[in-house]
Amino acid sequence: MSDLKRIKPWLYEIPKSGGMRVPGRIYATPALMESQKADECIQQVRNVAHLPGIVDYSLAMPDFHWGYGFPIGGVAAFDADEGVVSPGGVGYDINCGIRIVRTDLDRAAIQPRLREIVKNLFHAIPAGVGSDGAIPTPKGEDARAIVTQGARWAVEHGYGTPDDLLHIEDGGLYPGADPDVVSARAFARGMPQVGTLGSGNHFLEIQVVDAVYRKDVADHFGLKEGTVCFSIHSGSRGFGYQVCDDFLKSMMQASKNYGIELPDRQLCCAPLSSPEAKRYLAAMACAANFAWVNRQVMTALTRRVLAQTLAVSEESLGARLVYDVCHNIAKFEEHGGRKVCVHRKGATRAFGPGHPLLPEAYRSLGQPTFIPGDMGRASFLLVGKEGSMRETFGSTCHGAGRAHSRTAMKRMMQGRNLFKMLEEERGVIVMAHGRDSVAEEMPEAYKDASLVVDVMEQAGVTDTVARLRPIGCIKG
DNA sequence: ATGTAC
């Protein structure tokens, strides 16, 4: 802790010491540094810096907090030839991510029916631990196609439009997926869960744009003040969890076999050139594709519910996908003329303007990224700037960052009418499957997301494009 | 995050 150096108003550096191969860097202000378990998180940033082939820095975004091995909010790039891949650098919820869909509706058009919309969404989209049954369980060739084709499978089966695919990171397809390296148990757990929200901090929200800061980008994506949007935050459910769990075991063994010294067993990894790494990446790709199908199916269900509740056609909603991002993934990319495997765990890709991997329609603007806040305050649409390519391997933050533990929140919220608080104090109609999950996720549990996105803007990594306020929410 | 430990 004592060796932390504040090198810019928004940036701390941890100098190289002991077995660290590179220094650490944490994007944060002093206020954001005073988070729960900050010392443990800083140690996790240090630990990651020990791994073979790490390039430049072990990074943490301003919403960083303690995670399995790597900190959540961590970004680390490993040389494609000499580096490693680590399941702990991706996380249990492989391709957890978020998407935002804009509509032609304004707040006045839905306000009278809002309670009914929330109720109908709550019944159409299963949520909570172990939830399933949103669509008939995909079997056989469909199950394999889901994990090899990603979002395209959903569109080809009536869930969404081809236009959606243009507004998903990498088109909603992670290449190199091999279903044969994924356990039968992952398929058995995951397939009944396609189109389900899950639990924890996952949600489906109805939101209204309440401020626009970059009109050029907002206009391009059809967002102006008063525009009704919905956003979906979910991941790869039991499928990704099982993949991670299965491969942590083989990676523990691989670390030993290849003689990799680990400051923490949870950083287990394998050289990118090894068969173990290739198998993990092929399985991780399956889970990434599963998560995109999951969010894509829920998007289609939401359009259906909105149209039915408002008694209008789906087309008339103008419900176009603005963007879908992953925030738990490892990807091969080129940075500084070098091929690296970028691990983003609770961090979002945010390529700067002109990046060749961005679709032409918005390449000149930079990559859009969506940052969920909490149930009561605001979420933010961002766009990548040049600084992200220079400093953070094309990455930015992913959320507000927790300020109080789940157990502390349950204690703090004891005996209070949470749904009434959210509706009367925050103006949000919430429906959830469990009272505890709402207590754990109350706005008070989180830091203000605006502080987090401000740090990334100060650093020249991302610009804030628009702010959205929640008016309806369903949760597990 | 997660059939919150097979």
* Å from the A242 CA to the B6 C1': 13
pLDDT at residue A353, rounded to an integer: 98
- Residue A236 (CA) to nucleotide B1 (C1'), in angstroms, measures 9
- Mean pLDDT of the region A257-285: 98
Mean pLDDT of A308-315: 97
Name the closest nucleotide to A203, judged by C1' and CA: B1
Q: Which nucleotide is nearest to A92 (CA to C1')?
A: B1
Calculate mean pLDDT across residues A290-298. 98
Distance A464 CA to B3 C1' (A): 39
What DSSP character marks residue A136? Answer: P
**Sign of the CA dihedral with A199 first, then A345, A38, and A400 last:** negative
The whole model's pTM is what?
0.98
Name the 3-class secondary structure at A205: strand
pLDDT of residue A291: 98
pLDDT, residue A34, reads 82
Mark whether A398 is an active-site residue.
Answer: yes
How much of chain A, in percent, has pLDDT values that exceed 90? 96
- Annotated catalytic residue, options A233, A327, A398, A433: A398
3-state percent helix, strand, coil for chain A, nearest multiple of 5: 40, 25, 35
CATH of A5-475 given 3.90.1570.10, 3.30.1360.120, 3.90.1860.10, 3.40.50.720: 3.90.1860.10
CA A104, C1' B2: Å apart?
A: 37
Non-local CB neighbours of A311 within 8 Å, separated by 6+ positions: none
**Nearest residue, CA→C1' of B3:** A130
- Interatomic distance A473 CA / B4 C1' (Å): 23
Tokens of residue A171, six digits: 């088109």
Q: Residue A37: what pLDDT? A: 72
> Which protein residues have a C-beta closer than 7 A to any atom of strand B?
A 68, 92-93, 96, 129-130, 185, 188-189, 193, 198-202, 234-235, 237-238, 241-242, 245, 476
Domain extents for chain A? 5-475
Residue whose Cα is closest to the C1' of B1? A93
pLDDT score for A377: 95
Q: What per-residue confidence (pLDDT) applies to A106?
A: 96
Q: Give the tens place of pLDDT for each residue, A165-175.
A: 999 999 999 99
pLDDT at residue A38, as a whole number:
81
Q: Tell me, in Å, how far CA of A185 is from C1' of B6?
A: 12
Strands (E), A203-327: 203-212, 227-234, 270-271, 320-326
Closest nucleotide to A201 by C1' from CA: B1
* pLDDT bracket for residue A161 (50, 70, 90): very high
Q: How confident is the model at residue A417 (pLDDT cuts 50, 70, 90)?
A: very high
Q: Which nucleotide is nearest to A437 (CA to C1')?
A: B4
Q: Six-digit token pair at A336?
A: 């500084």
Please tell me the predicted confidence (pLDDT) of residue A116: 98
- The nucleotides of chain B lying under 7 Å from a protein CB are 1-4, 6
Q: Is residue A1 scored above 70 in pLDDT?
A: no
Distance CA A364, CA A182 (A): 38
What residue has its CA nearest to the C1' of B2?
A241
pLDDT at A45 exceeding the cut of 70: yes
DSSP characters over A365-426: T--EEEE---SSS-EEEEEE-HHHHHHSSSEE--S--BSS-HHHHHHHTTT--HHHHHHHHH
pLDDT above 80: residue A465 = yes
What residues contact residue A150 under an 8 Å CB cut-off, 6+ apart?
A: A171, A172, A173, A174, A177, A288, A289, A292, A293
Question: How far apart are the C-alpha atoms of A79 and A342, rounded to whole Å?
Answer: 9
pLDDT digits (tens, 9 = 90+) for A194-225: 999 999 999 999 999 999 999 999 999 999 99
pLDDT-based confidence at residue A123 (cuts at 50, 70, 90): very high
Q: How confident is the model at residue A36 (pLDDT cuts 50, 70, 90)?
A: low
Cα A326 to Cα A317: distance, rounded to the nearest angstrom = 26
Return the closest nucleotide (C1') to the Cα of A441. Answer: B1
Q: Which nucleotide is nearest to A241 (CA to C1')?
A: B2
Task: Find the mean pLDDT for residues A248-258.
Answer: 97
pLDDT at residue A118 is higher than 80: yes
CA to C1' distance (Å), from A370 to B6: 38
Q: Return all residues near A98 (Cβ < 8 A) that are at least 6 apart.
A: A231, A232, A233, A324, A325, A327, A370, A372
| 3-class secondary-structure state, position A19 | coil
Q: Which residue has the higher pLDDT, A39 or A169?
A: A169
Mean pLDDT of chain A: 97
